[in-house]
Structure 1
Amino acid sequence: MEYRKIGNSDLEMSAITFGAWAAGGWMWGSTDRNEAIEAIQAGYDLGVTSIDTAPIYGQGESEEIVGDAIKDISRDKLQLVTKFGMRWDLEKGDLAFKSKDNNGKDIDIYKYAGKESVIYECEQSLKRLGTDYIDLYQIHWPDSTTPIDETFEAVARLVEQGKVRYAGVCNYNVDQLQKANETIEIVSNQIPFSMVNRGVEKETVPYCIENNKAVLAYSPMERGLLTGKITVDYHFEEGDHRKGNPFFKPESIERTNAFLARIKPLADEKNASLSQLVLRWTIERPGITIALVGARNKQQSVQNAKAIDVKLTSDEIQFINDELKTAGF
């Protein structure tokens, strides 16, 4: 595995980091707890020492699964990354969207990062994860109802108390990132990035490169689209958020699969899967520090971790970039 420094911090994370959203089941059409635990442990055995989760994933379930998976692993060998600022148990802040929990009960999700809420959420996350500190604590989405400095004063207090090591953000634009950085040093920004979704390269990634902020790329496989296994007639389980997503419309699937067919010979040549080729390309992209990758079971987790073994020359990266351009991505 390769390990990369996060901004100006002393924190190093595995270039392939385990993303535990799907492990929580919520918005992915269910989860198998034991398989999720095995997936995390199998990744760890191959050097995936960093795990990214959030309270909202399964309304606490993902964090609890992570806690179970790591309970016998020495804490100093892990980097635990979680979030705050999305409440399903408090009607305050911006209403983000309406959803259903894993039992099918209606819930309203609010973006809220008031000071008292940040402190409360941290305590809950520490309990669920079974740890006394979080390596990287990130706001999940911007909250327009709370001043940014108020939110990050709370994070600064948690750092002083030793409950959090470093502060990060997710889904922040450059202005928001600069504002947060006035209160506490922000070491990273977790943003959506994939071969077919590269809008953040216009402003956010260049800012992060210039100011030494790590970029944690989420959905690098575009929620499974870039595996090449999604067909036009693919059936999504009830509760799977991908149903109706523009990336999963028939014309998008066809266009993406045609592109993947053109780069597949390169994957074959490397004795790698398409997913592994995509992940290696992602972490070679300028400014991208970490790729956050989900896995529902041990096999997927092992495959993700082994993407690190794929080596790409500059000519091969250029070939992929040219094919992306030809496909109109």
Structure 2
Amino acid sequence: MKYRELGESALQVSALTFGAWAIGGWMWGGADRKEAVEAIKASLDEGVTSIDTAPVYGMGVSEEIVAEALQGVARDKVQILTKFGMRWDVKQGDFAFHTQNNDGQEIDVYKYAGKDSVIQECENSLRRLKTDYIDLYQIHWPDSTTPISETMEALDILQKQGKIRAAGVCNYSTAQFMEAEETLSLASNQVPYSMVERSIEKELVPYAMARQKAIIAYSPLQRGILTGKIKPGHQFGEGDTRSGSRFYQPENLTKINAFLDEIRPMAQEKGATLSQLVIRWTIEQPGITVALVGARNAEQAIQNAQSIHISLSPEEIGVINKHLSNLSLI
């Protein structure tokens, strides 16, 4: 495994970090708790030391699963990354969306990051995670109803109290990132990035590289579409929201599969899966510090982690990028 520092935070994480969204079940059509625990343990055995989760992933379920999987593991050997700012238990802030929890109950989710709320959420996460501190604490989505400076002040308090080691943001624009740093030095920005979603390359990546800030890329497999296993006409299970994504629309799905067929021979030559090739490409991109890769079971977790052993030359990356340049999605 490769390990990289998050910005100038002195926090070392594994370049491939376990993404714990899917194991929470919510928005993924459910998940098997036992298999989820085994997936995390398998990742640890492969050298993955970092796990990224969030309270809203299953309304606390994902964090609880992470805690279960880490029982008996020395705390200083792993890095726990979690988030705040998506409240389903208060009606305050930006209304985000209406959904159902894992029990089928109707709930409203709000983006809220007021100072008191952030501090309360941290305590809740510490309890669910069964730990004394969080390695990286990140606002999940911007909250337009709370000044960014107020949210950053809460993070500063938590950092001084030793409850978090480093602070980060998720889904922040470059302008929001800059504003946040007027109050607090941040370690990272977690944003969507994949072969088919590269919008951050225009502004955010150059900004982060110039100021030695980390970029944590989520959905590098674009929620499974870049595995090559999802074909046009695929039927999603109940509660799986991927069917509404533009990437899964029939025309785009056809184009993406055609692109994957073009790079499939390279994966085969390396004795790798398409997923492994895509993951390795992701962490080789300029400015990308970490790729979050989710897994529902141990087999998937092992395959993801072993992506680190694939070698990609600059020429091979150039070939992949050439094919990508011809991919035009609607």
Identity percentage of aligned residues: 60
> Is 1:18 aligned with 2:18?
yes
SS in 2 for 1:291: strand
Q: Distance in 2 between matches of 1:71 and 1:92?
A: 35
Q: Distance in 1 between matches of 2:111 and 2:328?
A: 34
SS in 1 for 2:187: strand
Residue 328 (structure 1) shift:
2.9
**1:151-177 deviation line (CA, Å, top 9, x unaligned):** 111111001111000000000011111
> Is 1:35 aligned with 2:35?
yes
SS in 2 for 1:271: coil
Name the aligned partner's letter for residue 323 of structure 2. E
Q: Distance in 2 between matches of 1:119 and 1:327?
A: 44
> Is 1:268 aligned with 2:263?
no
Name the aligned partner's letter for residue 246 of structure 1. R
Residue 245 (structure 1) shift:
1.2
SS in 1 for 2:244: coil
Equivalent position of 2:73 in the other structure = 73
Q: Distance in 1 between matches of 2:286 and 2:87?
A: 34
Q: Distance in 2 between matches of 1:295 and 1:277?
A: 16
Q: Distance in 1 between matches of 2:229 and 2:191?
A: 24
Residue 182 (structure 1) shift:
1.3
> Is 1:328 aligned with 2:316?
no
Name the aligned partner's letter for residue 8 of structure 1. E
Equivalent position of 1:209 in the other structure = 209
**1:303-322 deviation line (CA, Å, top 9, x unaligned):** 00000000001100000000
Root mean square deviation of aligned Cα: 0.7
Q: Distance in 1 between matches of 2:109 and 2:294?
A: 22
**1:242-280 deviation line (CA, Å, top 9, x unaligned):** 022111011111100000000000000000000000000
Residue 327 (structure 1) shift:
2.2
Equivalent position of 2:82 in the other structure = 82
SS in 2 for 1:110: strand
Equivalent position of 1:258 in the other structure = 258
List aligned pairs for 1:312-323, cutoff 5 A: 312-323=312-323
The two structures have a TM-score, normalised by structure 1, of 0.99
SS in 2 for 1:17: strand
Q: Distance in 2 between matches of 1:326 and 1:114?
A: 44
> Is 1:9 aligned with 2:9?
yes
Equivalent position of 1:160 in the other structure = 160
Residue 326 (structure 1) shift:
1.8
> Is 1:308 aligned with 2:312?
no
Name the aligned partner's letter for residue 157 of structure 2. R
SS in 2 for 1:189: strand
**Structure 1 ranges of 4+ moved more than 6 A:** none
> Is 1:50 aligned with 2:41?
no
Residue 4 (structure 1) shift:
0.5
Worse overlay, 28-37 or 237-246? 237-246
Equivalent position of 1:279 in the other structure = 279
SS in 1 for 2:223: helix
Q: Distance in 2 between matches of 1:314 and 1:219?
A: 23
Q: Distance in 2 between matches of 1:73 and 1:168?
A: 25
Residue 89 (structure 1) shift:
0.4
Equivalent position of 2:99 in the other structure = 99
Q: Distance in 1 between matches of 2:24 and 2:16?
A: 19
Name the aligned partner's letter for residue 21 of structure 1. W
Equivalent position of 2:173 in the other structure = 173
Q: Distance in 1 between matches of 2:154 and 2:327?
A: 46
Equivalent position of 1:198 in the other structure = 198
Q: Distance in 2 between matches of 1:132 and 1:274?
A: 39
Equivalent position of 1:144 in the other structure = 144
Q: Distance in 2 between matches of 1:86 and 1:327?
A: 34
> Is 1:223 aligned with 2:245?
no
Q: Distance in 2 between matches of 1:219 and 1:327?
A: 18
Q: Distance in 1 between matches of 2:140 and 2:73?
A: 26
Name the aligned partner's letter for residue 173 of structure 1. S
Q: What is the total number of aligned residue pairs between the two structures? A: 329
Equivalent position of 2:242 in the other structure = 242
Equivalent position of 2:63 in the other structure = 63
Residue 104 (structure 1) shift:
1.1
The two structures have a TM-score, normalised by structure 2, of 0.99
Q: Distance in 2 between matches of 1:246 and 1:227?
A: 17
Name the aligned partner's letter for residue 89 of structure 1. D
Name the aligned partner's letter for residue 105 of structure 2. K
Residue 71 (structure 1) shift:
1.2
Q: Distance in 2 between matches of 1:326 and 1:68?
A: 45
Name the aligned partner's letter for residue 301 of structure 1. A
